[in-house]
Chains A and B, each alone.
Chain A
Amino acid sequence: MPAMMGAVVMGYADRRSLRAGEEIAIKVSAEGVETYSAEVVRLIAPDVGPPPHAYPYRADPVASPVNGRHPARAQPLILGSLIDVPASDAFAGTAAFTISLRVLPTRLADEPRVLVSTLNAERSAGIALVLDTDGTLIVEAAGPAGPAAWRSNVRCPVGGWSALTVAIDPADGRVAATAIGLPGHRMDRAAMATGEGRLDAPIILEHGPLRLAAGWDVDGTPAAVFNGRIERPRWLPGWSDTSERLAFCQLAPDASPPRNAVADWDFAQAIDSERVIDVSGNGHHGVLHNMPARGVTGSLWDTSEIDWRANPAHYGAIHFHDDDLIDAGWENDFTVATGADWPSGCYAVRLSAGEAEFFVPFFVRPPAGQRNADAVFLVPTCTYSAYANLTVRVTGQWNELIHGRLTVLDGTDLLLLSHPGLGKSTYDTHTDGSIVLYSSLDRPVTNFRPKGRIYKFCQDLLIIAWADAAGFELDMLTDEDLHREGADALAGYRTVVTGSHPEYWTTPMLDALEGWLRDGGRMMYLGGNGFFWRTAYHPSRPSAVEVRRTGMERIWAGGAGEQVFSTVPEPGGTWARVGRPPQTICGVGFITQGFDASAPYYRRSDADDPRAAFILDGVPDQVIGDFGILMGGAAGYEIDRYDRGLGSPDHALVLASSGGHSNLFDLMVGSIVDILPTTDPDAPDPLRADMVFFETEGGGAVFSVGSIAWSGSLAWNGGKNPVARITANVLTRFNDPAPFPMP
């Protein structure tokens, strides 16, 4: 069957979390149909296979006026980052002017890319500086006779900084350009080229906006978006001869120009914002679209600092990409009004059209000041954002190898190929090969649903399904709520139950959880590779996250000297690298991963400690979890280990440990030390998941399983199994207000 896409329906919401009684707006795009259906459902169990080892799929209908058919319309997905500067007469007229900037192209392919443009969508006026696919500067313009152009002999090659200065005289069409290479520590040629010519038709520069890093398509959308870095663009009055152009090229970006500029955009200012500042005094400030990367090194960076806050002048560049997307910006199609009596839980709007189906999940909390349960499920929406539209899972060459099995995809996954406008995750690379730093849920997200690969939200619903079947009440709370409200969001609850893979944590989230645990709270960490990446939530875009993978020497490595977030003033990287390893909060920390086969836990002597009696009550088994829908065991996918040296509490009990993991787990270790031969035949397998319990000073406690696959075993044998029993034992005791004494 050829790859034909029939009807397509997609959507997203204006938020992920709301309180019962509040409203949520849904944005929909539907293609190839006149109408689509919407249905509000409460998600109880994901669609992960047939019973008896998985709970039956449950998406319970919820009465809502929005249920039914809706007229379809397509809404656009517009990729590419740029800067827009409001319309001004300053960029118009017949007087000569000069544009200077520094530029680092990272990908010039397919078509010429725009550096600066006032060329309007109608192609009737304006001028643009464009780099051709080989880096050659082209000056494009328009006038009464139509388009005009001049192809220079000046090149800005991919991979290195160039300083470029272009002089233009609209009155007679004279154009001149000079560029010099800035090789830095590279052994590249410090090439200098200069040339002069004349536009091949008369031009007009009229009142209008200016755009940096892209032009305007005929419909007004961004066109020819530049891939690469731009630093300190300046619009200067007057013609510049060869020596003046050379001087402008040699002028440091942090130095003042010898003429009063018409506009002088200093990207080293307001790095933590989506604004660019015109320091000319003329007020031509700009606005970023689709969040190009900031806090990135510019041409002045000399390795003396690795923090943009210490020397912003060295970070005066912005990195633009033709596939940046932070918010699809769709219009609302309808609003779901939740009832004050809606139970806290996972909900979704199920969109369908023909065979097409798409879920827009959201999470309902109890009304303010209320709680319905002793335990709250912390929905890891921060992690969902980081992984949103994980394109590498579809297009990556190595997926099958590192997963040890054929890649499984469905029609929703493949939307990432048919609709590349959906954007990428922080695990993906841009078209120029640079890592994606920002991601959000403000767009249709293909891997945020109760179906498909059993991972992230789909997998977290396994815990929700187990709790429902076992008779436990769980209120919902999202990472976004915890980030904004701090420990107040946890007030009144006795137990936090985590998702299967709560990997991304902001500082406010982690501070809130740690403080709450110290005050007597209890946490069931029912996952693996949690508390791993320090993450930033954008201050004004609630679902937008920033990730800097400092220290990664392999895939996903960030740029040199670019470890500090641009959206909040903190270093990124793993929590371990900034002194708060996962072991400090949950007792275990990530050791490796493997997706081909999972393993069981084996009971250890600590399990006989009376402090752990409540956990293993009714579980005499020596082998725990040699079953499950996630590759056959409770310990797998991504696994965590107790490590006293990294902060695991010394009084923690290691109740059970997995072992015998496949050789693919060797492939993904973070440290080669963990797979070097040991001289001690009795040493525990270094590649293992540890089940850990410890008490806290405030009467609280923590129980950690250190395995993503744990949740895949809960439903085995209709929920009658040791994994489910242990989980129920712990939740029952954790919900009991009686304090845990410190040993």
Chain B
Amino acid sequence: MTETPPSNWRDIVTEFRARPFGQHSAGLQTLLDRFRAEPIEGKPFLYMIEQHRRWALAHFSTTRPLTWTVDRDTVFDRIEDAEWHVFRRRWRDRYGFDPEEA
């Protein structure tokens, strides 16, 4: 079951796309804190394929002891693109729609 997004959700999405790192509005920071506080089990992270140049999406296992998987088909040349990819996925999981397509 998905939640209803905040009424100013478009502003929040726009703000994140413009500035994924640094000072955020209270609404965006609250949302990011919830996203980023996920348990480590199943949590996404970035696997550095080339030192500080290319990153692949990766996930920790959903059970302990922790292992990991790397999705070498989902690769980023910019950290900001990876942040947006994960933000969209988390948004879909929580609110049931893609913030980019809405």
Contacts and interface: CB of A to CB of B under 8 A. Distances in A.
A451 to B, nearest CB: 5
A405 B40 CA distance: 14
B51 to A, nearest CB: 4
A478 B48 CA distance: 30
Given A3-B67, A48-B52, A50-B53, A405 B45 contact: no
Given A1-B71, A597-B22, A49 B53 contact: yes
A661 B21 CA distance: 11
Interface residues of A, number: 37
A2 B69 contact: yes
Given A404-B21, A409-B45, 18 more contacts: A47-B52, A395-B40, A397-B43, A401-B37, A404-B36, A406-B46, A406-B79, A406-B82, A406-B83, A408-B45, A408-B55, A409-B58, A410-B47, A417-B65, A417-B68, A452-B48, A597-B21, A597-B23
A650 interface: no
A407 B32 contact: no
A661 B47 CA distance: 28
Q: Which 8 A-B pairs have the closest CB atoms?
A: A597-B22, A49-B52, A401-B36, A410-B48, A400-B36, A407-B45, A47-B51, A662-B23
Interface string B25-66: 000010011001111100111111001110100100100011
12 contacts: A1-B71, A47-B51, A47-B52, A49-B51, A50-B53, A54-B52, A409-B47, A411-B47, A414-B68, A452-B48, A597-B22, A662-B21
Interface of A: prevailing SS? loop
B48 A408 contact: yes
A597 B29 CA distance: 14
Contact of B46 (A2, A409, A454): A409
A139 to B, nearest CB: 31
Nearest to A597: B22
Interface in A203-256: none
Contacts of B40: 395-397
A410 B66 contact: no
A410 B40 CA distance: 17
A395 B53 contact: no
B62 to A, nearest CB: 13
B29 A663 contact: yes
Interface in A291-336: none
A405 B52 contact: no
Residue among A57, A410, A418, A420 with most chain B CB within 10 A: A410
Contact of B83 (A2, A395, A405, A663): A405
Interface string A386-422: 0000000001111011001111111100100110100
A217 to B, nearest CB: 20
A400 B66 CA distance: 17
Nearest to B49: A410
A406 B45 contact: yes
Contacts of A2: 69
Contacts of A452: 48, 51
Interface in B1-33: 20-24, 29, 32-33
Given A395-B66, A396-B40, A410-B48, A405 B21 contact: yes
A418 B65 CA distance: 10
B37 A398 contact: yes
B94 interface: no
Contact of B66 (A47, A398, A417): A417
Interface of B: 20-24, 29, 32-33, 36-40, 43-48, 51-53, 55, 58, 61, 65-72, 79, 82-83, 86
Contacts of B67: 3, 417-418
A596 interface: yes
Nearest to A401: B36
A631 interface: yes
Interface in A1-45: 1-3
A596 B22 contact: yes
A660 interface: yes
Nearest to B58: A409
Contact of B69 (A3, A451, A454, A663): A3
B83 to A, nearest CB: 6
Given A49-B53, A406-B44, A409-B48, A1 B70 contact: yes
A390 to B, nearest CB: 15
Nearest to B33: A401
A396 to B, nearest CB: 7
B21 A596 contact: yes
Contacts of B48: 408-410, 452
Nearest to B72: A1
Contacts of B23: 597, 660-663
A68 B32 CA distance: 49
Interface string A676-693: 000000000000000000
A212 B54 CA distance: 50
Contacts of B65: 417, 420
Given A49-B53, A50-B53, A662-B24, A397 B39 contact: yes
A3 B24 contact: no
A662 B46 contact: no
Residue among B45, B51, B69, B70 with most chain A CB within 10 A: B51
Contacts of A597: 21-23
A660 B68 CA distance: 37
Nearest to A407: B45
Nearest to B52: A49
Contacts of A396: 40
Nearest to A47: B51
A53 to B, nearest CB: 11
Interface string A408-445: 11110010011010000000000000000000000000
Interface string A554-597: 00000000000000000000000000000000000000000011
B29 to A, nearest CB: 6
A661 B22 CA distance: 8
A400 B53 CA distance: 20
A659 to B, nearest CB: 12
Contacts of B43: 397, 400
Contacts of B29: 663
Contacts of B52: 47-50, 54, 454
A662 B36 contact: no
A661 B38 CA distance: 25
A631 B23 CA distance: 12
A422 B65 CA distance: 15
Nearest to A599: B22
B55 to A, nearest CB: 7
A660 B72 CA distance: 38
Nearest to B68: A3
A661 B23 CA distance: 7
Contacts of B24: 662-663
A397 B40 CA distance: 5
Given A49-B51, A49-B53, A596-B22, A405 B39 contact: no
Nearest to A398: B37
A47 B52 CA distance: 8
A405 B79 contact: yes
Nearest to B71: A1
A200 to B, nearest CB: 35
Nearest to A454: B52
Interface in A534-552: none
Interface in A655-677: 660-663
A597 B19 CA distance: 10
A622 B73 CA distance: 46
Nearest to A453: B48
